[in-house]
Structure formats: C-alpha cells, structure tokens
Chains A and B, each alone.
Chain A
Amino acid sequence: GENVEQHPSTLSVQEGDSAVIKCTYSDSASNYFPWYKQELGKRPQLIIDIRSNVGEKKDQRIAVTLNKTAKHFSLHITETQPEDSAVYFCAALKDSNYQLIWGAGTKLIIKP
C-alpha cells in the first residue's frame, strides 16, 4: 500500500534562514500532495498543496516542489520567522481509495 516517509523528524534553523522538509511516497498513481502546519496544541491547517500536473507551486515564503519520477516532494520555507515554528505534515493521496496517507511530521524550530 501507499507509504509516505518524511524527513527530518526535527529541524532547527536560524531565524531568517531557509528550511526544507522532504517526503517520499510509494504509490506512483498518487496525484495530490498537501502540506499541513500544526502549531503546538492546535489543529492542523493546510498551508499549500500541489497536484501531479505541476512541478512547483509558490505562495509568498512557502513553496512546494514535486518530482514524480523520483516520487518525492518537498516544502521550502524562506526567510523563516518565529511564527513558522510548528510541526509540518506532508501527505499523499492514495489513488485507489482517495484516502490521504500522512507522513510522521517534522518539528521545525526557529532559533532567534
């Protein structure tokens, strides 16, 4: 079945630097890849998503890239700020039953 691996599990970056989180998936038929942000004690919220017909999508300081051949996608955050500190989850849509399979999460720490 579909499996999503997310790395790293924890990422610590200096404020103002860039952060990159990577996910790989196993089902080559997957065609939708969202990223959710979960602040401590809060609910997950969608920050960006990408569909398989594009290779990159950008929204201000956040971008997602998709490499279908290699079956991996990445979240890029530039000019990191303290409010970027959170756990980030990637997910891939399992084409056979339209269920999302989630990565284990990355705890992003922004150091002042």
Chain B
Amino acid sequence: IAGITQAPTSQILAAGRRMTLRCTQDMRHNAMYWYRQDLGLGLRLIHYSNTAGTTGKGEVPDGYSVSRANTDDFPLTLASAVPSQTSVYFCASSETWGHTGELFFGEGSRLTVL
C-alpha cells in the first residue's frame, strides 16, 4: 500500500542522546514535512523540503536537523535531545510544495525524552 512509513513508532530516550526519526514515502511526492504535535498546540512545522536536495526551516526548527538526499527519504535528527522535545512527530508529504494540496501523513513517532 502506497504511503508514508515512519520509524520508530515509539521511543524513550535519555536527555543528551542523539536520535534520528526515519521517514520514507513511495508516492514520488516532491515535498516533505516534519511536524510535531503537542496537546493544545496543534501541529507545528519543524522543517520541510520542497524537492530533493533542498530543505527549509519551519516554525520550530531549533534543536532539529533534516536532510533530503533523494525523493523518498526525509530523516529528522535530534542532535542532543532535551525533555521539551517530548512529543509526537509526524512526517508528511504532498505532491508539490506550497501546502495547497493534500498532506499525506505517516502514522507518527512518539518520542519521550527523560
């Protein structure tokens, strides 16, 4: 089934550790996004990529980095995790950049930083 796959689905992490959340899509979408979802705050954009080889900062980029080496993969890295990064992380994609088409989300990765 076509779509977006995220891994891991859940992770508990000690503060200060490095963590990479993986995201792969098989829809050949140009644009990909990483959001964090926190209760009462909705979804906030961390980083995005409008095409392979380019990335950009979203609303809350500090403490996170991304790369887009190819069309399908868009990993999110926390270089040194802090408790405030405890959240549910969603990867998403859309056919083109601009957020004016449907966003397809992965199942989410629940991250707890202790």
Contacts and interface: CB of A to CB of B under 8 A. Distances in A.
Given A102-B44, A104-B40, A104-B42, A44 B58 contact: no
A101 B44 CA distance: 7
B100 A89 contact: no
Interface stretch (A13-21, A59-67, A75-83, A92-100): A92-100
A18 B14 CA distance: 46
Contact of A100 (B45, B106, B107): B45
Interface of B is mostly: loop
Given A44-B43, A103-B42, A104-B40, A93 B100 contact: yes
B107 A43 contact: yes
A50 B90 CA distance: 23
A89 B43 contact: yes
Contact of B41 (A32, A98, A104): A104
Interface of A is mostly: strand
Contacts of A103: 42
Contacts of B90: 43-44
A103 B43 CA distance: 8
Contact of A43 (B42, B44, B105): B105
Q: How large is the interface on A (under 10, 10 to 19, 20 to 34, 35 or more residues)?
A: 20 to 34
A99 B58 contact: yes
A29 interface: no
8 A-B pairs with the lowest CB-CB distances in the bound complex, closest first? A102-B42, A43-B105, A102-B43, A98-B98, A46-B102, A104-B42, A100-B99, A32-B100
Interface of A: 4, 6, 9, 32, 34, 36, 42-46, 49, 51, 89, 91, 93, 98-105
Interface of B: 40-45, 48, 58-59, 90, 97-100, 102-103, 105-108
Given A43-B90, A98-B97, 9 more contacts: A34-B103, A36-B103, A43-B105, A43-B107, A45-B105, A98-B100, A99-B59, A102-B43, A105-B40
